[in-house]
């Protein structure tokens, strides 16, 4: 896969179809009377780092959950790498199941860390490898050579991924006993184990101090460069967002209110209004 | 954090198929002595203890018969040594405990109706190795004379059949419960556990006219009387039935070793990790690519299959099976076994099963006899077995909630879980403690009902004995 050049206008609807990895059109999610996401159009350019920002309750995580299949949209279309994730028959909207979406190549982390607490660090990563392993239960019962080779390969690959995030010395430690920053990195390693093309990071620097945040920022940038990943980021820390994003999309009350380069968005009066209120926007 | 590296998993070339597997088995067998010497060097004490325990387990049935039972027969003060039949049942209950541990221990799905699969296995053997369906005669690889009424399959065929039948029903039960968790799952499985024995009890006079099926007063399951005689297991002309003494114990031991190996291999596989991931965090597991439907159904199916094999062993060994053997109390008994022993740990649940079977079938009756010998007015502890197990469970929850031999994981959860965070096993244990209390109530209520029913029957009979006055 070649990484396309990421110069020029990266806004939704501008790039040709093959340069876009996720394409969402008219995506709406209603929870009863509440419209959490309202008719959002959204493209993620291949190889880009795109940030989704917005005040609390703007619908960022809901949008995330619709891409990963955790929620089925009320309406709209989402395709990933040219494959439709949402299908409509008559009036019924169906979404691919989360494990199917994972198998297609979307990995994610969680806002509040969700590791498998009493499994070892290595086994957490190996659960991420599960989706690409092929041995059946009868292979496990008989311990066939193929199954054992696959297990060994999963250990080797798991250790590589732990090395990548700097946790190789803690392979036998339970995930719940790791310090907070390590748990965040383990979540990324586990997501990488699913061999994603697109990595969804839900507030990866939440609760980190400034040096940890800087380290995470450069790590995300390196992931994109060295593993040719596309990254969609939900983030509240504006230094992170402005520092690494190729494009920023701002949601407010479930609608896209601004989209563009970090500099564009920063200067957009509607964004300032959404974050700081009308008076501040008028003063700016 | 270091730089990303390319993935180059090192694997040696593998011969495909059965030959490769046999070859690797041979490799493992060749490597075994070396591996044992290495284990002896590394964990000297542990290896020696395990070896001694293993040898003791293998020779125990002989010692039990030759010395312990002999002592009991000749002594005026007998000690609680288990009979051969009890030791056989220890093997059967160990197999079931290992199976339930897959569902409740590995995957964290509380199953209160596990006895249903035991019943399905037992009736599978009863149908396929007894004169019950006397209008046909099908004798296949069996020691029974040709032309003998009924279907007669050999034991080695019944074991995989019991496995398959129970696994199929495990999947069938699992399917509607997939969306349920915790308490709700427990209630549905509880219902299934009640339905299956009742179905077997009531299909004794079936009238059915449905499409091509015409049944008139068909006795499918033997009703209250159950089915007997069931062919004993037989290999090379030797019977392994209830009259065979320790031969049956060794047959049970072989099945148990098979169960241990299968459960261990599953635990250390992709499926075992997926089960544990579901137990820890179902949503995260699904997001990491674990197919919840398939993984849960597999846990239900494989867990149930162990009970199916145990059921085949039970009915073949005892030569009789009736629906009374498969009460709700048996489900709870097995659940108590795995909780006391250490849920999640195969060795723990085996210890739990051995202990509880011993208490239930040997020690409490023995105490009862001793008490009776002192005074006939003293209570018989074996009538209060569930009260005693309930107290035992409560005491264990207070002082050692992780069980006799806990899994490392469960111990950590229960000892160090933050307050207010009810995690899988803790919830399971709480439910079980609750269930055993409820069971005590239910049993008490049932006894009352039985007494009332008897009274009603007696009244009816009295009424019938008196001829009605206005009959022509």
Residue A188 shares a structural domain with residue A206: no
Q: Exposure of B380 by Cβ count < 10 A (0-12 exposed, 13-18 middle, 19+ buried)?
A: middle
Please identify among residues 85-104 of chain A the ones whose CB lies closer than 8 Å to any CB of chain B: 97-99, 102-103
- Give dist(CA A165, CA B206) in Å, integer: 66
Q: Quick one: tokens of B78?
A: 């007998």
User: For the residues A255-264, what does the mean pLDDT come to?
Assistant: 92
The verdict on residue A47 lying in a domain is yes
Domain range spanning residue B181? 57-69+80-453
Q: Exposure of A271 by Cβ count < 10 A (0-12 exposed, 13-18 middle, 19+ buried)?
A: buried
The verdict on residue B256 lying in a domain is yes
The verdict on residue A6 lying in a domain is no
Please enumerate, as own/partner, the contacts of B161-164 that have beta carbons within 8 Å and a separation of 24 or more. Answer: B161/B124, B161/B128, B161/B312, B162/B120, B162/B121, B162/B124, B162/B125, B162/B308, B162/B309, B162/B311, B162/B312, B163/B121, B163/B305, B163/B308, B163/B309, B164/B305, B164/B308
Across the interface, do A127 and B24 touch by the CB < 8 Å criterion? Answer: no
Are the beta carbons of B97 and B341 closer than 8 angstroms? yes
Partners of residue A156 in chain B, C-beta under 8 Å: 9-10
Pure H helices in B359-402: 364-374, 385-399
- Give dist(CA A24, CA A30) in Å, integer: 16
Tell me the helix, strand and coil percentages in chain B, rounded to 5: 70, 5, 25
The verdict on residue B40 lying in a domain is no
The verdict on residue B31 lying in a domain is no
Query: Is the minimum CB–CB distance between A18 and chain B shorter than 8 Å?
Result: no
pLDDT bracket for residue A207 (50, 70, 90): confident
Q: Which of A132, A144, A149 sits opposite B11 (nearest CB)?
A: A149
B105's CB contacts (< 8 A; 6+ apart) are B338, B343, B344, B345, B349, B407, B425
Residue A200 shares a structural domain with residue A100: yes
Model pLDDT, residue B315: 95
- Give dist(CA B5, CA A284) in Å, integer: 47
- Give dist(CA A143, CA B260) in Å, integer: 14
Residue A201 shares a structural domain with residue A178: no
Query: In this structure, what are the phi and psi dihedrals at residue B2, rounded to the nearest 5 degrees?
Result: -100, 170
Q: Which of A99, A133, A166 sits opposite B270 (nearest CB)?
A: A133
Are the beta carbons of B264 and B346 closer than 8 angstroms? yes
The verdict on residue B49 lying in a domain is no
Query: Tell me, what DSSP letter sits at residue A174?
Result: B
Token pair 């995690």 is found at B423
Are the beta carbons of A171 and A163 closer than 8 angstroms? no
Please identify among residues 202-241 of chain A the ones whose CB lies closer than 8 Å to any CB of chain B: 215, 219, 222-223, 226-227
Partners of residue A173 in chain B, C-beta under 8 Å: none
Model pLDDT, residue A279: 67
User: For the residues A8-31, what does the mean pLDDT come to?
Assistant: 88
Are the beta carbons of A140 and A150 closer than 8 angstroms? no
- Indicate the residue among A144, A165, A195 that finishes a domain: A195
User: For the residues A31-41, what does the mean pLDDT come to?
Assistant: 92
The verdict on residue B394 lying in a domain is yes
Across the interface, do A97 and B409 touch by the CB < 8 Å criterion? Answer: no
Residue A157 shares a structural domain with residue A50: no
Q: How many structural domains are present in chain A?
A: 2
Closest CA to A271 of A260, B270, A59, B254: A260
pLDDT bracket for residue A168 (50, 70, 90): very high
Inter-axis angle of helices B385-399 and B328-341, nearest 10: 30
Chain centroid to Cα B420, Å, comes to: 33
Query: Is the minimum CB–CB distance between B269 and chain A shorter than 8 Å?
Result: yes
Are the beta carbons of B75 and B237 closer than 8 angstroms? no
Residue A71 shares a structural domain with residue A42: yes
Residue A165 shares a structural domain with residue A38: no
Closest CA to B338 of B286, B407, B275, B398: B407
- Give dist(CA A210, CA A214) in Å, integer: 6
Residue A204 shares a structural domain with residue A274: yes
- Indicate the residue among A195, A227, A250 that finishes a domain: A195
> Which residues on adjacent β-strands are paired with residue A34?
A31
- Buried-exposed string A145-172: b where 16+ CB fall within 10 A, e elsewhere: bbbbbbbebbbebbbbbbbbbbbbebbe
Residue A97 shares a structural domain with residue A203: yes
Partners of residue B299 in chain A, C-beta under 8 Å: none
Domain range spanning residue A134? 114-195
Residue A120 shares a structural domain with residue A258: no
The verdict on residue A260 lying in a domain is yes
User: For the residues A129-136, what does the mean pLDDT come to?
Assistant: 92
Please identify among residues 154-213 of chain A the ones whose CB lies closer than 8 Å to any CB of chain B: 154, 156-157, 160, 163-166, 174, 176, 185, 190-191, 193-194
- Give dist(CA A254, CA A198) in Å, integer: 22
Query: Is the minimum CB–CB distance between A108 and chain B shorter than 8 Å?
Result: yes
User: For the residues A51-57, what does the mean pLDDT come to?
Assistant: 90
Torsion sign (Cα): A7, A11, A15, A18? positive
Q: What number of CA atoms fall less than 13 Å from residue B44's CA on the CB side? A: 1
Q: Is the pLDDT of residue A102 over 50?
A: yes
How crowded is residue B72: how many other Cβ atoms within 10 Å of its Cβ?
A: 15
Model pLDDT, residue B209: 84
Q: How many structural domains are present in chain B?
A: 1
pLDDT tens profile A67-91: 999 999 999 999 999 999 999 888 8
Classify B15 in phi/psi space as left (phi over 0), alpha (psi -120 to 50) or beta.
beta
- Indicate the residue among A166, A195, A224 that finishes a domain: A195
Residue B449 Cα distances to B117, B330, B445, B446, angstroms: 27, 20, 6, 5
Across the interface, do A99 and B286 touch by the CB < 8 Å criterion? Answer: yes
Q: CATH number for the domain including A258? A: 3.40.50.300
Are the beta carbons of A1 and A19 closer than 8 angstroms? no
For chain B, which residues score pLDDT lower than 50?
1-12, 417-434, 437-472
User: For the residues A129-135, what does the mean pLDDT come to?
Assistant: 92
Partners of residue B269 in chain A, C-beta under 8 Å: 135, 137, 139-140, 147, 151
Residue A69 shares a structural domain with residue A29: yes
Residue A173 shares a structural domain with residue A203: no
Q: Is the pLDDT of residue A5 over 70?
A: no
Residue A40 shares a structural domain with residue A84: yes
| Shortest CA gap A164–chain B (Å) | 5
Q: Which of A137, A156, A174, A201 would best serve as a mutation to test chain B binding (most B beta carbons within 10 A)?
A: A137
Query: Tell me, what DSSP letter sits at residue B291?
Result: -
Across the interface, do B412 and A135 touch by the CB < 8 Å criterion? Answer: no
The verdict on residue B20 lying in a domain is no
Model pLDDT, residue A246: 93
The verdict on residue B30 lying in a domain is no
């Amino acid at each position: 896969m070649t990484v396309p050049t990421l110069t020029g206008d990266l806004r939704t609807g501008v790039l040709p179809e093959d340069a876009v990895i996720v394409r969402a059109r008219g995506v709406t999610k209603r929870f009863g009377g509440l419209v959490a996401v309202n008719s959002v159009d959204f493209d993620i350019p291949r190889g880009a780092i795109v940030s989704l920002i917005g005040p609390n309750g703007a619908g960022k995580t809901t949008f995330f959950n619709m891409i990963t299949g955790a929620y089925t949209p009320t309406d709209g279309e989402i395709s990933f790498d040219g494959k439709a994730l949402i299908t409509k028959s008559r009036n019924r909207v169906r979404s691919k199941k989360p494990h199917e979406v994972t198998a297609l190549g979307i990995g994610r982390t969680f806002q509040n860390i969700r590791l498998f607490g009493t499994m070892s660090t290595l086994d957490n990563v190996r659960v991420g490898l599960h989706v690409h392993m092929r041995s059946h239960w009868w292979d496990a019962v008989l311990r066939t050579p193929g199954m054992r080779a696959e297990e060994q390969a999963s250990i080797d690959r798991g250790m590589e991924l732990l090395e990548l995030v700097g946790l190789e010395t803690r392979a036998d430690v339970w995930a719940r006993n790791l310090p907070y920053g390590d748990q965040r990195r383990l979540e990324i390693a586990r997501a990488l184990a699913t061999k994603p093309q697109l990595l969804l990071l839900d507030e990866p620097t939440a609760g980190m101090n400034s040096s940890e945040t800087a380290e995470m920022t450069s790590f995300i940038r390196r992931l994109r460069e060295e593993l040719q990943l596309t990254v969609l980021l939900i983030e509240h820390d504006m230094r992170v967002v402005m520092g690494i994003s190729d494009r920023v999309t701002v949601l407010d009350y479930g609608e896209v209110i601004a989209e563009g380069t970090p500099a564009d968005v920063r200067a957009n009066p509607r964004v300032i209004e959404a974050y700081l209120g009308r008076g501040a926007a008028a003063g700016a | 954090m270091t730089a990303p590296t390319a993935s180059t998993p090192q694997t040696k070339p593998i011969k495909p198929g059965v030959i490769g597997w046999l070859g690797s088995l041979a490799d493992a067998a060749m490597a075994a002595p070396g591996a044992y010497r290495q284990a002896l060097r590394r964990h000297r004490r542990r290896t020696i203890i395990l070896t001694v325990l293993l040898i003791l387990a293998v020779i125990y049935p002989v010692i039990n018969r030759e010395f312990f039972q002999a002592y009991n027969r000749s002594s005026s003060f007998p000690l609680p040594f288990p009979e051969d039949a009890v030791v056989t049942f220890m093997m059967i209950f160990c197999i079931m405990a290992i199976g339930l541990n897959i569902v409740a221990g590995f995957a964290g799905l509380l199953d209160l109706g596990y006895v249903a699969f035991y019943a399905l296995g037992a009736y599978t053997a009863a149908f396929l190795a007894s004169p019950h369906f006397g209008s046909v005669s099908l004798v296949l690889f069996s020691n029974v004379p040709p032309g003998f009424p009924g279907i007669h399959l050999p034991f080695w065929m019944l074991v995989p059949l019991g496995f398959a039948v129970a696994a199929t029903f495990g999947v069938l039960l699992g399917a509607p419960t997939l969306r349920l968790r915790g308490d709700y799952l427990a209630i549905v499985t509880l219902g299934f556990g009640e339905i299956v024995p009742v179905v077997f009890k009531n299909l004794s006079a079936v009238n059915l006219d449905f499409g091509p099926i015409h049944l008139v007063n068909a006795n499918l399951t033997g009703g209250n009387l159950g089915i007997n005689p069931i062919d004993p297991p037989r290999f090379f002309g030797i019977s392994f039935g209830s009259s065979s003494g320790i031969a049956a114990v060794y047959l049970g031991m072989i099945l148990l070793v098979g169960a241990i190996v299968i459960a261990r291999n599953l635990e250390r596989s992709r499926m075992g990790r997926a089960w544990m991931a579901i137990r820890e965090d179902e949503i995260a597991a699904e997001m990491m690519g674990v197919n919840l439907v398939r993984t849960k159904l597999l846990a239900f199916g494989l867990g149930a299959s162990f009970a199916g094999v145990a059921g085949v062993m039970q009915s073949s060994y005892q030569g009789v099976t009736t629906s009374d053997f498969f009460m709700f109390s048996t489900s709870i008994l097995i659940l108590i076994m795995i909780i006391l022993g250490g849920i999640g740990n195969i060795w723990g649940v085996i210890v739990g099963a051995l202990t509880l079977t011993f208490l239930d079938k040997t020690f409490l009756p023995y105490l009862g006899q001793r008490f009776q010998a002192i005074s006939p007015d003293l209570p018989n502890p074996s009538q209060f077995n569930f009260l005693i197990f309930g107290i035992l469970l409560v005491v264990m929850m207070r002082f050692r909630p992780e069980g006799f031999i806990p899994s490392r994981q469960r111990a950590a959860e229960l000892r160090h879980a933050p307050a207010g965070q009810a995690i899988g096993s803790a919830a399971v244990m709480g439910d079980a403690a609750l269930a055993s209390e409820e069971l005590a109530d239910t049993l008490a209520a049932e006894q009352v009902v039985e007494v009332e029913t008897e009274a009603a029957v007696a009244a009816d009979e009295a009424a019938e004995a008196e001829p009605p006055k206005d009959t022509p």
